[in-house]
Structure formats: structure tokens, C-alpha cells
Amino acid sequence: MRSVDTITVGPGPLSFADVVAVARHGAPVELSPDAEVEIIASRKVIEDLAADDEPHYGVSTGFGALATKHIPVDRRAQLQRSLIRSHAAGSGPEVETEVVRALMLLRLSTLASGRTGVRLTVPQTYARMLNAGITPVVHEYGSLGCSGDLAPLAHCALAAMGEGMVRTRSGDRALAAGALAAADIQPLVLAEKEGLALINGTDGMLGMLVLAAADLALLLRTADITAAMSVEGQLGTDAVFAADLQRLRPHPGQAASAANLRALLAGSAIMESHRGPDCTRVQDAYSLRCSPQVHGASRDTLAHAETVASRELASAIDNPVVTLDGRVESNGNFHGAPVGYVLDFLAIAVADLASIAERRTDRFLDVARSHGLPPFLADDPGVDSGHMIAQYTSAGIVSELKRLAAPASVDSIPSSAMQEDHVSMGWSAARKLRRAVDGLTRVLAIELLTAARALDLRAPLTPAPATAAVVAGLRATGTEGPGGDRFLAPEIETTVDYVRSGDAVRAAETVTGPLE
């Protein structure tokens, strides 16, 4: 684990970097003094209502379709415990540790806003669990993305109560009670309103959106690198990436992508070799020529998604909430539609970004389109198959990404006896986006691996300094250049790691400086 600073959680919003630091890199967290003041003040409002005979949702009533059921004063603490136990009803594979940590951090952030009415011990317990590396076991299925990510959040609350299962810092599966005891953390004994406050949020889908945004910011720069390598390796033209042409259609993402392509291709001897009057290449295929338009549209989609995520990070989502003037009010802010829509939108962009990358890869392998390269980039075509089946792998992934681009947020299944009769399916949108981002990573890696082989085959002509640095970085991982057929799967996985780690982008940026 890299050394990271402590993240202070207060009434204000967390940053994207804060979420990534805690979720992925184990950064410790602490409550700010301002947060503690707000939490204590709002708890007093709830305690003043706890003995009230008038109905207050989640304090003296049941939940969902049982909201009209009055709960006697002596049963209200049990109401909260029963809520968590019954709602911890997830099923299926375990959700990744980074997602659960992001979910817990974002729930902690809402608790720190002072709008939920919990006691100070509740957010303190979540902070201590995060710092101890105790991760509740959360399951794939259980959230409809409305009334919050109920089952996933309930499994976290259950663990804080000392029940259910967790993963320790070392990754071992353990009983929550034992893990809390080993970390000297007292299990929570929930009081009025606290169970509801722990599960009524969109924290799971938002956490996955923030993590996906971080991944895509890297992958978009990687896509510009692989596109540049493909244009270069296929003897394409860079004239279409000129700034004045891009300004005729002033989308900011398109301009950024084209600027990256110009920087990446600068100084290429391969490009210079066919600039003369004898060159008959007036224009390239769309997958090369239109790379800035497709990559740029994906960038602009990500920018919109980041705007939505920023607003969500500034939100305090619970129902009911304690307002700034001390009222306790029901609301519908737990509905996941804003997050669900952009998660689906990103899945569309991811599928198209992978699709154009796969088309660029395929062009390298066809002698009718590769401009002098051997069939399938094979060393001895016929005896060797080269990268023929690597393209199959890429095509198979792209086909799945197209299926994953079908939106989840257009679906709705009524629940809770028709009280919750319209739900967002935002959690499902987030789960499929995570799979899509992984697929895009692999498609770009295959393009990079294939393009690197093609650039080597253009010797003695040399590539641009930036793309040459990317190829050199790949070769430094032990991935060999052109030659006879060999076991290709490990080379693909090594290249996936090269892309996912950011090393490919860092290699290019040693020449270009920071890419946009």
C-alpha cells in the first residue's frame, strides 16, 4: 500500500481523489471538528422526537409499505436492529473491496453532514472500521437503486453491529464480531433513526461511478496513445488532426484528443517517410481519421458524468433528513436516477471507444489494408498465425461491451408492496460499467500490443519519440517483439497490466509532457 495522507471527512464534499485514496489505497480517515458539532446538534433533534407520540417516519413508524405502522416507544431501538438484519439480504458473488470501502466512506460523509440525526459513535465506528481495514462482505445482488443501495449498505451496518461476515486487511474472511474485537472496536447498538440513516443512500452506485471516472480518465489518454500508434503503424496521415480543422467543430474533448495525437506523432520518421508528393493517401479509414471525434465524445461524456458525481458528493442523502433549521422531513433524494443515467451513458461511450480500437487493431492484420505488413503480423505466415486470435479476443470483448451498453436505468420493478413503485436500477448500471471498463482496458491493451509489433516491423524507419517510449516500456516488461508464434495470453495480460497501471501513459508523457 502506498503512503497516503489522512482524509478528513466533514460537512463539506469529498473530492474524487479522496474517494480513490480511501477505497483503493487504504488512506486513513478522520472526522472534522465541524462534523462532530453538526452530528451532535442534529442528534438532539431526533432524541427530542424519540418519545413523541406523533408519527415520524423511521423513528416511530415502520418502513416502506409499513410506514403507517406505529411503533411503541419501548420497541423503537429494536426497530432499527430489525431493519438492518432484514435488509442484509444480498445474494451472489462478493463485491470488490474497493467498492465496499468507497460505499462506507460515502455513507460516512453523509453522516458527517449532520443531516441524518445519528449519534457521534455511528460515524466514528465507520471511520475506525475503514482505518482497521475491516471490509464487510457485500453481495452482487440486493439493490434496486432506490430507497438507497439498501442491501449493500445493510450488510455494512450489520458488520458494524458485530454480525455477519467481513474481510480483514489481509483479505481473510472472518466473523464481524471477532474482527471488531481484534481491532478494539465496540459493536454498534443502534438507537432511534440510526439503522435507517445507515442504509438510505446511493453510496454504492456513486462510489462505483467515482472509481470508473478515475479509470476512464486514464484509459482515454491511453486510447489516444494506441490510436497514434495505429495511425503511425498503418502509414496514415496526421494532417486531419490539425488544430484549425478541429476548431471547425469546437467540442472540447475532440480538441484535447487531437492535441494528444499531434504531440504523440511529432518527430516520427515513419510518418515523414510518406509525406512526399508520391503519397496517394488522401484520407484514412474512419477508425483512424475519426479517432479524435470518437475519443472526444467519450471525453465529453465523462465530463458530464463527473459533473453529476460532483453534485452527488456534495449531497446529504437520507430519508427523513434533519434540515438546517431543525425540522425532520421526508423526501425522495435517495432515488438513484441522476447517477444511474450517467452510469449507463458511460457504458455506451466505453463500448464505442472499444469498438473503434478493435477496428484499428483489425486493420493491422489484413494485407489488403495494412500497407506492406505481413499477414496477421506473422513471422512466417501460414506456419505462424501472428495476432490473428488476439483480434478474436478483442472482438469478443467488444461484442460483450455492446450488450453491456444496454441501459439498466430504463428498467423498474416495483417493490415494497407498491410503495416503492419506481426504482432506478443504478446499482445494476454501476456493476455493468465496472465490467465494461475492464473490457475496454483489455481491448486497448491488445491494440497497443499489436501496434507495437507493427511499429517494430517498420524498421529501419523509426516511430515518434513518444510512441517509441511506449514500445520500449512494453518491451521492458518482458513482452518480446516480432518473431515466431509463442504463447500469447501471458503477453496480453502483461500488456493489460501495463495499461491499467498507467505505465503506458507515463512512458508517453516522458516525451510529450502531461497529455490532456
Residues with active-site annotation: 57
Decide if 408 contacts 425 (C-beta within 8 A): yes
Query: What grid cell was written down for 440?
Result: 475496454
Q: CA 315, CA 13: separation in Å to the nearest integer?
A: 8
Give the number of other CB atoms < 10 A from CB of residue 303.
12
Burial class (CB in 10 A: 0-12, 13-18, 19+), 488: middle
Cα 206–23–477 angle (5° rounding)?
A: 115
Query: What grid cell was written down for 173?
Result: 474472511
Burial class (CB in 10 A: 0-12, 13-18, 19+), 175: middle
Q: Of 123, 208, 124, 129, whose CA–CA distance to 166 is shortest? A: 129
Helix, strand, coil percent content, the chain, rounded in steps of 5 = 60, 5, 35
Give the number of other CB atoms < 10 A from CB of residue 283.
11
What is the Cα Rg of the chain in Å? 26
- Under DSSP, the state recorded for 96 is P
Query: E strands within 147-283?
Result: 165-167, 173-175
The full 3-state SS of 113-127, as one line of letters, equals CCCCCCCCHHHHHHH
Query: What grid cell was written down for 483?
Result: 518473431
Q: CA 51, CA 25: separation in Å to the nearest integer?
A: 44
Dihedral sign computed on CA atoms, order 242, 244, 250, 256? positive
Buried b / exposed e over 453-473, threshold 16 CB at 10 Å, is bbbbbbeebbbbebbbbbbeb
Q: CA 165, CA 175: separation in Å to the nearest integer?
A: 5
Dihedral sign computed on CA atoms, order 15, 16, 18, 22? positive
Q: Which residues lie below 8 Å from residue 238, measured CB to CB, with a gap of 6+?
A: 231, 261, 262, 265, 271
